[in-house]
Amino acid sequence: MPAAVSVIAPSRLHFGLWSLDTPGTRQFGGVGAMVDQPNLRLSLTDASHFQVSGANAGRVVEYAGRWAEFHHQPLPNCLLKIEATIPEHAGLGSGTQLALATAAGLNAFVGLPSQTPPELALSVGRGLRSAVGTYGFVFGGLVVEQGKLPDEPISPLDCRIDMPDAWRFVLVRPQGLMGLAGTQEIEAFAGLASTPQSVTEELIAMTRDGLVPAAATADFPTFAQTLYQYGRLSGEFFATRQGGPYNGPVLTALVEQLRARGHIGVGQSSWGPTIFVVLPSHAAATSLANDLTTEGTPLDITVTSPCNSGARIEVAGRPRVELPIGD
């Protein structure tokens, strides 16, 4: 058993779902991308018994309990320390990344064989709806998932590609707002209408004919324009809950302001309140971030690179453990 394990996991941007509650079809599906910042960092070191410290310790204890039950073994004698977290209820996939990082860290600490993304998610009870964050945790990059059939534990992966290294995302989050999660999210999904098949087909076409090839060839104008159109159309699924394609008047106004500045690739990640803008270069991203900062509006602003490598796991100071390519 190693003396120490460290895990660094990226954030997830979700560009939007393909479908909701449409009989006879795959449910959810969709596309998103992983970004380097903000990230989650945790460590596991030898201890006299299993213990957890840091923010969200209660959630980690719950995930660790699920992991132990799934693997039919006791929790190891270690201190699991949460050293940095992804903001909660911000549309950045914090819960999935925390759960998977817990599972991957425990696997590495006790020396279990590598798991596929579905196995990793099932061991801690994640991936019930979207699986973008699950595949993104392992692979990074731009992730497209097919959506779930009733008898499937999580959605199958459709494709995954690298995002261009030069591109940047600016994450803009109005202070004091929170997205939906947990019981609120479950109730919100239960009250939404089915998606017309024609809309699902249009979103899939935007993904396969626009987003994926544009990212693969670094065609920034096509990617940015398609990203905005895709997010706005997918956001209409939630209009009865959000009041439109974006979650409330503050986020709607922010999207309009960013678009008025000439920034094409603007969208809302999941339920928000994180709004993202894709830019073609670091210089363009920092210029936008500086402009928004000087305006004095209470915003949390992050400039980040795409994350094309997934989570990084180091065991006792040795090089990164490669996560598996699974089904």
Report how far apart, in Å, the C-alpha atoms of 232 and of each of 132, 138, 221, 291 are.
19, 28, 17, 25
Residue 325: inside a domain, yes or no? no
Inform me whether the pLDDT recorded for 48 exceeds 90.
yes
Mean pLDDT, range 49-77, rounded to an integer: 96
Mean pLDDT, range 165-179, rounded to an integer: 91
- pLDDT tens across 92-117, in order? 999 999 999 999 999 999 999 888 99
In the chain, the percentage of residues whose pLDDT exceeds 70 is 90
Q: Check residues 323 and 325 and name the one with the higher pLDDT.
A: 323
Mean pLDDT, range 24-33, rounded to an integer: 89
Inform me whether the pLDDT recorded for 294 exceeds 50.
yes
Q: Check residues 317 and 82 and name the one with the higher pLDDT.
A: 82
Mean pLDDT, range 5-32, rounded to an integer: 90
Worst-scoring range by mean pLDDT, 154-163, 181-190, 294-303? 181-190
Residue 15: inside a domain, yes or no? yes
Distance CA 14, CA 50 (A): 34
Say what the pLDDT of residue 177 is. Answer: 85
Tell me the pLDDT band of 21, cut-offs 50, 70 and 90: confident
CATH code (residue 60): 3.30.230.120
- Structural domain boundaries enclosing 15: 4-315
Mean pLDDT, range 39-64, rounded to an integer: 96
Say what the pLDDT of residue 316 is. Answer: 84
Residue 126: inside a domain, yes or no? yes
Inform me whether the pLDDT recorded for 155 exceeds 80.
yes
Residue 326: inside a domain, yes or no? no
- Using a cut of 0.85, tell me whether the model's pTM lies above it: yes
Inform me whether the pLDDT recorded for 284 exceeds 70.
yes
Say what the pLDDT of residue 327 is. Answer: 44
Count: domains in the chain? 1
In the chain, the percentage of residues whose pLDDT exceeds 90 is 76
Tell me the pLDDT band of 326, cut-offs 50, 70 and 90: very low
Hey, which of 31-45, 194-208, 234-248, 285-299 has the most confident mean pLDDT? 31-45
Residue 74: inside a domain, yes or no? yes
Q: Check residues 249 and 325 and name the one with the higher pLDDT.
A: 249
Say what the pLDDT of residue 170 is. Answer: 98
Phi, psi angles (nearest 5°) of residue 281: -155, 165
- pLDDT tens across 183-228, in order? 766 666 666 668 888 999 999 999 999 999 999 999 999 999 999 9
Residue 120: inside a domain, yes or no? yes
Residue 9: inside a domain, yes or no? yes
Residue 289: inside a domain, yes or no? yes
